[in-house]
Every structure is written in C-alpha cells, then in structure tokens.
Amino acid sequence: MSTEQLEKRLRRRSIHRSRSTAVAITLVVVALVAAWIGTEAVLKAIGQQPLLADPQTVVDTALTPDAAFTTIIEVIAAALVILGIVLVVLALKPGRQPRSGIDRDRGAVVIDTRILASTAANAAAHAAGVPEANTTASARGHRTQVHVVPLSGIPVDASAVEHAVGDRLGRLGGKHGSSVQVTVEQKGTLA
C-alpha cells in the first residue's frame, strides 16, 4: 500500500467511527447460539440428556403457544425488532465524528470541527469589525453557520463577512468554506 493510500485511509478512519464494537458483540452472540445448538445436537446424537433444553421441544412449544407464552414471545419479538433496527442503522450510517480532514502534503491531518467554528467566528469578527465575543459559529461537515451581533451604528455587510469566512476556511483546502451562511442580528450592542 502506498503512503498516499495509507494516509487517505488513516484520515477516513479518524473521521468516521469504527463499527468494530457492534460487530464484535453481534458475533459473540451468534457464536454462543451456534455453540449451544451444536452441543445439543451432539448430546442428542449420543443419546445423552440435553444441556438446557432439546431444540426440537423448544421449537414445538413455540409453534403451539398458549396465552401466557404468546405475550412473552411478543415481548421477545419486539426486542429483537428494535435490536435489528439499531444494528441496521449502525451498519448504514456513515458514523461521522465531529472532525474534518484538511489537505496537507505530508501526513494525514484531521482537525476538530470546533476549531473550524472558532476560526470562522474569528474571521467573521475581523471582517465585521466587532469584538470576537459578538460572533458565534457552528460547523458541521463542510457547512458553516456564523451569527454576528453588530455594534450599534456600524453596519455589518453580511456578504463581505461571508466572503471573508469562506476565504479563511478555504485556506484549509478541500471543500472547506464552500458553504457559509451568515446571519446578522437585527439589534446591535453598544460596545
């Protein structure tokens, strides 16, 4: 594997959550059930008493349910459905963590989105000419939202702020700063 591919993989693994925990738990459960069925099969084959219950009798009782047993089965079925949905969601969702990769010639560099947000807030404060406490920003993926509270009597040009933030984030490379949304508060503060 070339270094470039390795770095790409490293970056991907740092940004996305691993599925190994869910996979491990599921596999342990499946292995336990399989081992139990195997043991019971061997015990039945050599004519010994079943370990927990004979799988054949378990299936027979399940197929001819009485009233109390039906409710138990329903609860178990509901639990299994929920477990199944959770596993499907875990498997299909990208599992992004609040981090973002940036372009660098050497090494895989990953930064936290909070740093992206504060960078955006800083750039916005500089462009709008307000103290940094007057700007807040949130970043999610490549989308950045900036909120500016202007100083009374100093108009804030939202498009200029948007441009400045996009410019600053654009230096990080990739798609950073391509989607910036600026909102300016109606009421300003005196200082």
Chain positions contacting another protein, by CB under 8 A: 126-129, 131, 150-157, 160, 186-191
Provide, rounded to whole angstroms, the least separation between the CB of residue 136 and another protein: 18
Please identify, using beta-carbon distances, which residue of 64 and 152 lies nearer to another protein. 152
Provide, rounded to whole angstroms, the least separation between the CB of residue 181 and another protein: 19
Please identify, using beta-carbon distances, which residue of 170 and 188 lies nearer to another protein. 188
Please identify, using beta-carbon distances, which residue of 49 and 152 lies nearer to another protein. 152
Nearest to 57 by CA among 75, 40, 79: 40
The kind and range of the H/E element at 135 are: strand 135-140
Provide, rounded to whole angstroms, the least separation between the CB of residue 93 and another protein: 42
**Alpha helices (H) in 16-110, listed in sequence order:** 20-45, 55-63, 67-92
Parallel, antiparallel or unpaired: strands 143-148 and 109-112: unpaired
Joined tokens for residue 97: 């963590």
Parallel, antiparallel or unpaired: strands 109-112 and 179-184: unpaired
What is the C-alpha separation between 66 and 70, in angstroms, rounded? 6
Provide, rounded to whole angstroms, the least separation between the CB of residue 135 and another protein: 13
Please identify, using beta-carbon distances, which residue of 15 and 128 lies nearer to another protein. 128
